[in-house]
Amino acid sequence: MIQLERITRNEVYRDKKTTIVVFFYLVGYCIDKEVNMHYKKYKKILSTKNSMNIYRGCSHGCIYCDSRSKCYQMSHAFEDIEVKTDAPIMLDRELRSKRKKCMIGTGAMSDPYIPIEKELRYTRKCLETILNQKFGVSLLTKSNLILRDIDLLQQINEVSKCVVQVTLTTADEALCKVLEPNVSSTKERVEILKECKDRKIPTIVWLGPFLPFINDDETNMRRLLDYCVQQYVHGILCFGIGVTMREGNREYFYDNLDTHFPLMKQKYNKAFQLNYECGSKNHRKLMTMIKQTCVANNMLYGVEPIFKYISAYEEKKEVEQLSLF
């Protein structure tokens, strides 16, 4: 019963419009059958590198998603969301025990702004903890639900440092709906960048993946880079032009190719067989475009400098001192 007591009344009865929500209890494990949501108890939330995933699994449905690969050993369907019970409480406790302030990262394996976050507000509660304890944060998302928390992000950035990272894959809105069906459109994500720019919150754009024969063309790249320039992003991260495929994500991707791009699966099979890396023939040309744009616009470029920037904690002493008066 320990687990049930820790889930608030709101969480248990969060959707009164739908029929009865039934919870099954096993030891430390709880399943909400209606929305395929699991509460699972963990001992810790922060990794050794100070990153965290509040949720496991993701309902955004990106057709190329690597996180659904079998190697990650999810014990349930990827769309079934596992919620880490007490995530904000665990984070609060772990931050208190740290000797040095640092950046806390989230969003690597599961978007912190999946739809269930609207009701649970775990990500928001974690941000409040980060602000209260004067840590920094970096978040990676494709959802404009992040704008709900823009006040907190701005405050964190005034006290320490907040970096908002947004993924952009295609400037073609119709294609975006096919590649990333359940999440904000590219234009909505550009709005996130704009809002952050207006509030002086630094942003990093993750460009890609660029799927061979689908969105790996110069026109798309030019339009995405123009968005980055217009919104004064701090840096652009791109791991290469192509996509990676592993057992689990390949099958899902190929099923989607069959649904949306007739004969494309055969093209992929011929070009890449079971390769992990499915590179684009436009790799060099498009990477050059990114680099030239970054250099011309004074943006950070390259995996190493960007990760160094994201993980570097800053304490804005001036703000702290000012707040004393």
Q: Is 104 in the site for ligand SF4 (CB under 6 A)?
A: no
For residues 201 and 164, the answer to whether their CB atoms sit within 8 Å is yes
Minimum CB separation from ligand SF4 for residue 246, in Å? 13
Phi, psi dihedral angles at 320 (to 5 degrees): -60, -45
Q: How many CA atoms lie within 13 A of 93 on its CB side?
A: 8
Q: Nearer to ligand SF4 by C-beta: 57 or 88?
A: 57
Angle, CA 106 vertex, CA 66 and CA 164 arms, to 5°: 105
Q: Nearer to ligand SF4 by C-beta: 135 or 206?
A: 206
Ordered strands of the 136-141 beta sheet: 51-52, 103-106, 136-141, 162-168, 203-207, 235-237, 300-301
Q: Nearer to ligand SF4 by C-beta: 92 or 111?
A: 111
Minimum CB separation from ligand SF4 for residue 171, in Å? 18
Q: Nearer to ligand SF4 by C-beta: 111 or 117?
A: 111
Q: Nearer to ligand SF4 by C-beta: 156 or 243?
A: 243
Residues 133-152 that bind ligand SF4 (CB under 6 A): 142
Q: Is 38 in the site for ligand SF4 (CB under 6 A)?
A: no
Q: Among candidates 150, 71, 139, which has minimal Cα distance to 104?
A: 139
Q: Whole-angstrom Cα distance, residue 34 to residue 60?
A: 18
Of the candidates 11, 92, 111, 158, which one interacts with ligand SF4 according to CB under 6 A? 111
The gap from C-alpha 131 to its chain's centroid, in whole angstroms, comes to 20
For residues 154 and 145, the answer to whether their CB atoms sit within 8 Å is no
Assigned token pair, 138: 């970096």
Q: Nearer to ligand SF4 by C-beta: 84 or 142?
A: 142
Site string for ligand SF4, 53-82 (x = CB under 6 A): -----x-xxx--x-x---------------
Minimum CB separation from ligand SF4 for residue 183, in Å? 6
**Which H/E stretch holds residue 80?**
none
For residues 57 and 35, the answer to whether their CB atoms sit within 8 Å is no
- Considering CB under 6 A, how many residues would be counted as binding ligand SF4? 9
Q: Nearer to ligand SF4 by C-beta: 165 or 293?
A: 165
Q: Is 110 in the site for ligand SF4 (CB under 6 A)?
A: yes
Q: Whole-angstrom Cα distance, residue 78 to residue 259?
A: 20
Minimum CB separation from ligand SF4 for residue 207, in Å? 14
Minimum CB separation from ligand SF4 for residue 109, in Å? 7
Which positions touch ligand SF4 (CB under 6 A)? Answer: 58, 60-62, 65, 67, 110-111, 142
